[in-house]
Structure formats: C-alpha cells, structure tokens
Structure 1
Amino acid sequence: MLVDEALSLFVGHQYSQNRSEYTVVAYQTDLNQFFKFAALELGQEPETLTVDQVDIYIVRSFLGALSEHGLARKSMARKLAALRSFFKFLCYKEILQNNPVQRVASPKLGRKLPHFLYLDQVEGLLGAPDGTDLLGCRDKVILELLYGSGLRVSELVGLDRNNLDLDSGLIRVLGKGSKERVVPVTNYSIAAIKAYLGMRADQDQALLLNYQGTRLTERSVRRILDKLVAKISLEQHVHPHMLRHSFATHLLDGGADLRSVQELLGHKKLSSTQIYTHLTRERLKEVFSQAHPRAKVPNKDKKT
C-alpha cells in the first residue's frame, strides 16, 4: 500500500478515536517528515513509497539524523511515538505483517532534578500567613500539610474532616490511582488544623474551604501560594509541588532512609523517589565546592 493511502486510513482512525485536532496534525507532521527521509534514503520520490519498504534500519537512520541535527531527545521520542502508533495500526489492520518500529528503543530522556526550597526559605514561607483570622489560619494549614506531610495538592484539597486522626497524629489521603495511604502529620500541622477548625462555624466535611464556604480548588491553592511568596519577597517561583520536593529532600538530608520516604510520598516505584538522592548529592557537591579550600580552582598567577 502506498504511504499516502496508509496515512489517510490512519488519520481517519485517529479522528474516530476522538483524538484532538492538535494530536492528529502533530502525527501527520512527524510521519510526513519521516517518509520524506525514507524516500530520500531509498532514492525514490515520496509519492511512490510503499509502507512495506520501511525497515528497522531506516527508522534507526532517521533517529540518528535527528540526533545529528541536535533535536532534543524529548522531540525524538515524540516522533518515534507517532511511528509506533502508525505501524501498530497497519499491523492491526493486517496491512503489514511486521512492525519495523517494534524493536527500536526509545531515546533515554533523562530526568530533571526537582526544584526545592532551602530550610530558611521554607521557614519564612510558613511564617507568612496571618494566623489571627480564618483565611490566614487556613493558609497556615495549607503550607504545613504541603511541606510537613509532603502531600500532593490534589490530595490536600481532597481532605475531609473524617480523614483526620489528630490524636494519633495521622491523616488518610487519597493519592494517584485512588490509592489510599496514611501519613503522619507534624505537631505544627495539628496545631494549625485545630486553630482553623476552631474558628469555623460550619459543619462542612471538606477540610479546606474558600471564602465562599465551598471546597478549595487546586488552582486556588496555587493563587494563595503566589500571594504568600510575594508577601515575603521570595524571588524564585514556588509551586505547591515544590513544597513536596522540599519535604523529601529535607527528610533525606536528615538521615531518613529511601524506602520510608517512598512510602511517605506514596510512590509506587522506588525509582520515583531515587531522584531525590541525586538532588542531595548535587547539593553536597555544591556545598563541598564552595566550602572546602582544596575544591576551589587554584590561582595560577599567585607567586610562591
């Protein structure tokens, strides 16, 4: 089958699966780029190319050419994903017997180190809310739970009163994949929660309410955090997840073992938690290079 015919079938299938216009156009762009390359490799015109002429070597050559041109690995992975979807569809429709992309490994993307706050920055932020009024007490609860228990913002806004066991110092949260876990809360969090609930006259089950008396949203938490960051003139951008990153980083700095941090964060895989060990190593290297006299670049111009 000619490539143009196969592309038409694939695009029609994508629309039938309710794919967005953006996704379908992106697939078309990546696939057209690949088939132009394949035709050039085979020394023929693109309109004469058939899908069964493509093999694993052409796919690998395509990825190699992209790499040589300096394309980011993330973009390469996206193009490879488009090829996977296309050839998987052709095999499903029995237009092809063999999938030329099946044994092609995706480029390793690497992982960016998460941003975190230093302890003095966290302490400054925790002291920002006005604890004399209802909303200020609520904001204190938000910060204490995000940092003190490492909650995701979705877990935070989903908390109900009956999720709290303040006498035991534990709360029950609903994490990713509707997986429930129990996490400890600090004495600071307990005090903040008691002060906040003590000011509330309602019986709403939601732990955190907005000024209208309805459950707080994730977007509202971000806005509240932005205001508090501006209040203490913290220069860097702070998002709720950064407090979770800080929670994990400070635990490991304090000697916590990786498995315990994994459980506290609710990570399914240990590899998700191991990123914080890389972070602490980078911090140790930074401290070492700044503080140790032998780690600094020697002054070659200094006379002896």
Structure 2
Amino acid sequence: MNMDASLIDRFLEMMAAERGASRNTLLAYRADLQGAATIVGGLSDATQGALGALSAAWATLAASSVARKASALRAFYAFLQEEGMRDDNPASVLPRPVTRRPLPKVLSTQEVDRLFALIEERVAVAHPAPADLRLAALIELLYGSGLRATELMSLPRRALAADRPFLILRGKGGRERLVPISDRARAAVSAWLSHVAADSPWLFPSGKTYLSRIRLYQLVKALAAAAGIAPERVSPHVLRHAFATHLLEGGADLRALQSMLGHADIGTTQIYTHVDSRRLVELVNSRHPLASMALHKPNRRVDDAASAS
C-alpha cells in the first residue's frame, strides 16, 4: 500500500500540472483511488480479475459516480503505462456507464493572440532573457503542435531538425505519430537552443533531468495572468485543446486531427465537434445551396380569403 501512496501522489501531481485539475478534483480522485485500493488489496500490481470486483462494489452507486471512479482508475493506469511502470492497463475491464461528457476548456483565438503578443514583446528586445526564449519555444510547441505536457518536457535536444517540418513521437500506449512543427516553432526552438548546454540530452533541461510538469504549469499560469487572462482558465492541456479546436474551426479534417493528437479512438477527437457546433450552424446558413434561395412567403390575400371561406 506504501507503493500505492507514492504512485497516487505522482499521478495527482501530473493531473495538476498537465491537466490543470482543481483541488476538489484531485481530492475526489485521491479518495476514489484509495477506496479502490482498499477493495482490491492494492493498485500497483492489480490484475484485470482483481479490478473486476469493483463493478459489484459500485453496483448501488449513481452512474455519474461510477463513471468518475472508473475514469480515475483508467487515467491512473494510463499514467503508469506511459511512465513505463506497467506494461498494461487493467482498467479496461471497468464499466463505462453512459453519461454526458463535459466539453473541454478552450481559449478563443483572441486570447491566444494575447499570449503570443506578450511573448513577442519579451523576445523582441536586443538581448532577450533565456527564460523568455524558453517560454516562447514551450508555448509555440504546446499550441502550435498540440503536444501533451509529458511529450513536450521529455523532447530530446535534437528532436527538431532545421530542414524537417515534423517530428515523430511515441505517445500513450507506445503509439507513434507524426506531429507537424510550424516554421514559427522551429525558429523559437532554434533561438532557445543556443542557451542549452551542448551535452544536454534534453531540449528543456532542468537539473539532472528535464523541466517538470509542475514548473511548466506554473509558467503557463504566470503567462496567462500577465496577459490579463484568468490563470485558472489556462493550463498546458487547455492549450492542447485550443490547438485542436482552432484547427477544426479552420477546416481541419477530423481524421487528420485524430492523428495529430494521438487519439486511439476517433470518439475522443469528436468531442471537439461539439465545441465547434455554432460555426457549423453558421456555415450551413451561409454556404448551403438553399441559403441563397429566397424564402417563399404565402400570399396574404389568398390566405385571408381562404380563412374567410
């Protein structure tokens, strides 16, 4: 159980830094994970068979409660798998009650412009601070390529080639995907690289390893506050959501977006179509062939005559 406590702490740290989870969410996840650990006798080495017993234990709970508990466990084991601490995700046996999925938090393009305007102001000086050059590279890659925080932090020093507008990442579940890298992002990374030690294995080093999720989370929050945006609305994961939403608004294909985000199931990607529903309605009203046809109005005199008879 001591191993469980350590792993749960590390998982919740990731949820706070990468996902921007609130204090209440973290407390709920901790309670859910500890409760499940008590039922199955420990989470770190639990099997699918052991987790299967949770369905019976949750039988009297509301669907929303079961969904939250199962989601916490799936996310926990996905984290262990991604960090190389497990080869499998035994939570696949857990129930998936039908509940309404919440829409992701997103920023408007105007708010993202404010973030970049502030960054550009800081790096446009004669001798920009290395911290500002690093921040520029981080934000360009978060919003410009939709990287997960863990993927971004652990990029090798030479991950980006000057003559290659993409990189190949190994993300969740060991799946490889091709991620486009904009000219802006490559230029920002190039400017930052001059401040990275030549013998560093990491693009964003910190001490003996790379920048932590918590530090990235703090940097993004501080940038939002300086740009006049409520810090609680912004996190590394929110910038990933903004990348996806704004691409879809610009006409990106859903399958292409799925590939760029590294989603195994297109159903995960489809959540962004709900965010974009207003634009789709406007598109139908303005671009559909019927939109250019005059609406037929009934002849009032005929209608009046018919009603009089």
Band of TM-score, shorter chain: 0.5 to 0.7
Residue identity opposite 2:173 in structure 1: G
1:219 paired with 2:214, answer: yes
Does the CA-based 8 Å contact 2:220-2:236 persist in structure 1? yes
Separation (CA, whole Å) in 2 of partners of 1:174 and 1:272: 18
Residue identity opposite 2:115 in structure 1: L
Q: CA deviation at 1:213?
A: 7.1
- Give the number of equivalent residue pairs: 211
Separation (CA, whole Å) in 1 of partners of 2:69 and 2:247: 39
1:264 paired with 2:288, answer: no
Pairing 1:192-203 to 2, within 5 Å after superposition: 192-203=188-199
1:17 paired with 2:41, answer: yes
Pairing 1:1-304 to 2, within 5 Å after superposition: 17-19=41-43, 73-77=63-67, 107-129=97-119, 130-131=122-123, 132-210=128-206, 212=207, 214-235=209-230, 237-282=233-278
Are residues 283 and 135 of structure 1, via their aligned partners in 2, closer, same or farther at CA, if it must alter by over 3 Å? same
The alignment's C-alpha RMSD in Å is: 3.4
Does the CA-based 8 Å contact 1:172-1:180 persist in structure 2? yes
Q: CA deviation at 1:18?
A: 2.1
Separation (CA, whole Å) in 2 of partners of 1:76 and 1:175: 27
Q: CA deviation at 1:200?
A: 3.2
Are residues 78 and 229 of structure 1, via their aligned partners in 2, closer, same or farther at CA, if it must alter by over 3 Å? closer
Large movers: runs of 4+ above 4 Å: 13-16, 76-81, 282-288
Are residues 169 and 283 of structure 1, via their aligned partners in 2, closer, same or farther at CA, if it must alter by over 3 Å? same
Separation (CA, whole Å) in 2 of partners of 1:146 and 1:138: 12
Does the CA-based 8 Å contact 1:152-1:241 persist in structure 2? yes
- Show the counterpart of 1:300: none
Separation (CA, whole Å) in 1 of partners of 2:133 and 2:70: 50
Gap runs ≥5 in structure 1: 1-10, 21-26, 35-58, 64-70, 82-104, 289-304
Does the CA-based 8 Å contact 2:249-2:279 persist in structure 1? no
Are residues 234 and 262 of structure 1, via their aligned partners in 2, closer, same or farther at CA, if it must alter by over 3 Å? same
Does the CA-based 8 Å contact 1:117-1:246 persist in structure 2? yes
Q: Secondary structure at the match of 1:127?
A: helix
Deviation sequence 1:29-85 (CA, Å, 0-9, x none)? x95xx9xxxxxxxxxxxxxxxxxxxxxxxx6xx67xxxxxxx5x322556999xxxx
Does the CA-based 8 Å contact 2:248-2:254 persist in structure 1? yes
Q: Secondary structure at the match of 1:244?
A: helix
Q: Report percent identity of matched pairs.
A: 37
Q: CA deviation at 1:284?
A: 5.3
Separation (CA, whole Å) in 2 of partners of 1:228 and 1:189: 18
Q: CA deviation at 1:168?
A: 1.4
TM-score, normalised via structure 1 length: 0.61
Residue identity opposite 2:215 in structure 1: S
Does the CA-based 8 Å contact 1:146-1:240 persist in structure 2? yes
Deviation sequence 1:177-210 (CA, Å, 0-9, x none)? 2322221101110110010112334420201124
Separation (CA, whole Å) in 2 of partners of 1:14 and 1:160: 39
Question: Computing the radius of gyration over CA atoms, which structure comes out larger, 1 or 2?
Answer: 1
Does the CA-based 8 Å contact 1:164-1:172 persist in structure 2? no
Gap runs ≥5 in structure 2: 1-34, 45-52, 72-94, 285-309
Larger RCO (CA within 8 A; separation ≥ 6): 2
Separation (CA, whole Å) in 1 of partners of 2:96 and 2:154: 36
Does the CA-based 8 Å contact 1:163-1:173 persist in structure 2? no
Residue identity opposite 1:239 in structure 2: S
Q: Secondary structure at the match of 1:147?
A: helix
Q: Secondary structure at the match of 1:189?
A: helix
Are residues 121 and 287 of structure 1, via their aligned partners in 2, closer, same or farther at CA, if it must alter by over 3 Å? farther
Q: Secondary structure at the match of 1:116?
A: coil
Q: Secondary structure at the match of 2:118?
A: coil
Separation (CA, whole Å) in 2 of partners of 1:238 and 1:284: 25
Separation (CA, whole Å) in 2 of partners of 1:78 and 1:148: 31
Deviation sequence 1:85-113 (CA, Å, 0-9, x none)? xxxxxxxxxxxxxxxxxxxx853122111
